[in-house]
Structure 1
């Protein structure tokens, strides 16, 4: 029996090479076959407008900002975790952060997902996703599968339902005692159940956890009457939304992840195995947006992203669409917020703190088109040990200003996380229904239902 390659665990922007190196979260050795596959996959990403890795010669490559789990055809499992601290940080902390961000992407309530599970279930992302899917499927089956009538056309030696006259008239000699009939069968053959069966089969084949495999085997017996989906996209479009399928809602996001329906955020491989890759900037953007939705006052409109303005007009049509990550409006007031997944250094003023000039050009264009050249905007970066407080404001002119704010990813979702948010003077919800400037009081979110 061939031995499986040892899993590789690194952070985003880590180096992978084929030569022997001291393993760490920032550098690791992989097999030549895994290296070749990553080069091919990176080329496919590049053709799609993204970048998975930067190849340096034939022996090493540098990963970009994709995180998750990647399984190569040779069996190598590469786990890529976020780098949200410039120095230090453990694998377990990075795994917990990635799971928290993924729950925000799926818009899963933390009370259902179980915040304790984020800390206690210490395993790669793929095993955690499979574990969550199996747990939700177990709960669904305990409440019962939704059944439905399905039309069946078959040839029987007796009459049942309606006779298919066209097929019966074409019956060859010697088979006149057989009948072509149509009838309805009440059973579990529904699009939702077919998708769950296919996802369960994928989990049974991919999981390396004894606990997950044992539960998958038990659930497979309970779904033995359900055929696996053969048209995944079609069945997802046919997934019902009526109240009789309310107990299916919790399992659907996990089923989508396993069957790779979150494209392009989740990227599937072209072989058997469960690969989940996510661009960190999208996960960070979704998490910040979800926090703001919980924090802002009722009646505040928030679009993520906004797509109503373009840089200019050409031949009567808009050209170069401007899409800020977050656009907030209330009673004529407007705010533009953009998230950036990058580590800043508040002490490096000569190096402009690590800020990008192109980002400032972008925010200036947002301010002119979305705010009419007057208002407050913000660039939001992750809080790190080198970026703990807001930078002094940047002024494009006397009417348009830009704040650079840290967002604390280690803070719970129901606590203040946007540090310096009071400078934006945005309305947020209070338990008594009144509104104040965002960030002026840490207790603003307490008591607000998810």
Structure 2
């Protein structure tokens, strides 16, 4: 059952059901109850999808003859009207019996693998996640980065200004002076350099602080943001976010601004490409789990493989067919491992919970036939029909060890592996090589050795 609304934050998991106050009990124990005005707003988001404007993080469904809203595979925080934050956590936490803090910490680690969130200090953020919602955790990271900028002093620059002054400063602009002050002896029209902190970097941070004060529900973050905003009081907040972002130029004396500006850009652009639609929109921090899982696996495998190997993400160098000298239907696997310019292993990540118990054998362990077709095409195009393709799924209690390899009838030298990836350790669980388990780098080295099975067909084991 979803968590009750505490501190204006409701915590649920992927694919949970949301209902209005008047329909409590409609979705069973898995349903979370939200105020009616929030439920109406959620319906607006779902209906907007039919017009091509709504986000894909929720959909309308029916339970018990009533209309309900079901969240999809997007995780993060939804900012609903009235200040309610709906926090959506990965479903793997619920499936594994883990608590919400574990799922929230996992989500932070996954987000840190994405480029825009590379500045997350995961250890501190995971600790903060045990006390506050995910959105407030990231607000705290931004405020800490701004504090670091303030400690080193706001950077300014000299700006050339012209105008009438009651004293002579800089260079006297004689022609303009005679034109403006012909009958005035108490003014001088001058051109001078003025040192000012009114520059794009400070304007963006000031605007982001205003946004944080408007969106945050944490009293601690509110107080912290107001204190920092006071320091930027001499700097006007940006009125053109896109224009000021374009004006940013790398400079040696601005290096310490890097993290604060990265967070400011995320805050001012809505944290993510997904924002609320409809008359009562609200900023969201939402990401598809497939993207997060892929980035998480890629980052850890890149560290694990042999230095002589190269891991390519979304290489997209092959097409399925050619037609009249044109290439159609680009084939873009998630990960490809290369050695000496040659593809040796293709991996595709799938955010799906498998169940490899014997009772699920008739259901083929929840494996998708379409995924096998996809890997078959990758194997023939990227590996020329010979080698190893891998489907990577999250490790759970129901999927702890890799399956025996699958062989394609007309391509016996092309093997398909189904392997679990441990979310806690960031390790791919590879097949056991009796009596010891081999590592992923060793498996890659065995690809070219073509070890033999008892029946003479090639195998990695």
**Aligned counterpart for 1:366 among listed residues 350, 369, 378:** 378
Q: Distance in 2 between matches of 1:74 and 1:63?
A: 19
Q: Which stretch shifts more, 29-38 or 368-377?
A: 29-38
**Aligned counterpart for 1:395 among listed residues 404, 407, 410:** 407
Q: Distance in 1 between matches of 2:27 and 2:138?
A: 26
Asked if the contact 2:75–2:288 (Cα under 8 Å) also holds between the matched residues in 1, the reply is yes
**Aligned counterpart for 2:150 among listed residues 109, 122, 141:** 141
User: Does the C-alpha gap of structure 1 residues 82 and 249 become closer, same or farther in structure 2, counting only changes over 3 Å?
Assistant: same
Q: Secondary structure at the match of 1:250?
A: helix
Aligned to 2:85: 77
Give unpaired runs (5+ residues) of structure 2. Answer: 447-461
Asked if the contact 1:260–1:268 (Cα under 8 Å) also holds between the matched residues in 2, the reply is no
Query: Please, what is the CA RMSD of the aligned residues?
Result: 3.5
**Aligned counterpart for 1:227 among listed residues 210, 233, 236:** 236
Q: Secondary structure at the match of 1:301?
A: strand
Asked if the contact 1:15–1:28 (Cα under 8 Å) also holds between the matched residues in 2, the reply is yes
Asked if the contact 2:12–2:89 (Cα under 8 Å) also holds between the matched residues in 1, the reply is yes
Q: Give the 5 Å matches for 1:207-222.
A: 207-222=216-231
Q: Distance in 2 between matches of 1:333 and 1:107?
A: 29
When Rg is computed on C-alpha atoms for both structures, the one with the higher figure is: 2
Q: Distance in 1 between matches of 2:100 and 2:430?
A: 29
User: Does the C-alpha gap of structure 1 residues 64 and 291 become closer, same or farther in structure 2, counting only changes over 3 Å?
Assistant: same
Aligned to 1:419: 429
Aligned to 1:445: none
Aligned to 2:335: 326
Aligned to 1:104: 113
Q: Distance in 1 between matches of 2:323 and 2:162?
A: 57
Q: Secondary structure at the match of 1:217?
A: helix
Q: Distance in 1 between matches of 2:163 and 2:318?
A: 57
Displacement of 1:175 after TM fit? 9.3
**Aligned counterpart for 1:53 among listed residues 55, 58, 72:** 58
Asked if the contact 2:155–2:254 (Cα under 8 Å) also holds between the matched residues in 1, the reply is yes
Deviations 1:70-120 (A, max 9, x none): 11224332111111142522211111111111111247679x714254035
Q: Distance in 1 between matches of 2:10 and 2:363?
A: 34
Aligned to 2:449: none
Aligned to 2:421: 407
Aligned to 1:375: 387
Residue 349 (structure 1) aligned with residue 361 (structure 2): yes
Aligned to 1:27: 31
**Aligned counterpart for 2:349 among listed residues 331, 335, 339:** 339
Q: Distance in 1 between matches of 2:178 and 2:294?
A: 63
Q: Distance in 2 between matches of 1:144 and 1:40?
A: 45
Q: Distance in 2 between matches of 1:165 and 1:314?
A: 73
Q: Secondary structure at the match of 1:8?
A: strand
Q: Which has the higher helix share?
A: 2
**Aligned counterpart for 2:13 among listed residues 11, 14, 21:** 11
TM-score normalised per structure 1: 0.82
Q: Distance in 1 between matches of 2:83 and 2:402?
A: 45
Q: Give the 5 Å matches for 1:282-321.
A: 282-321=291-330
Displacement of 1:368 after TM fit? 1.6
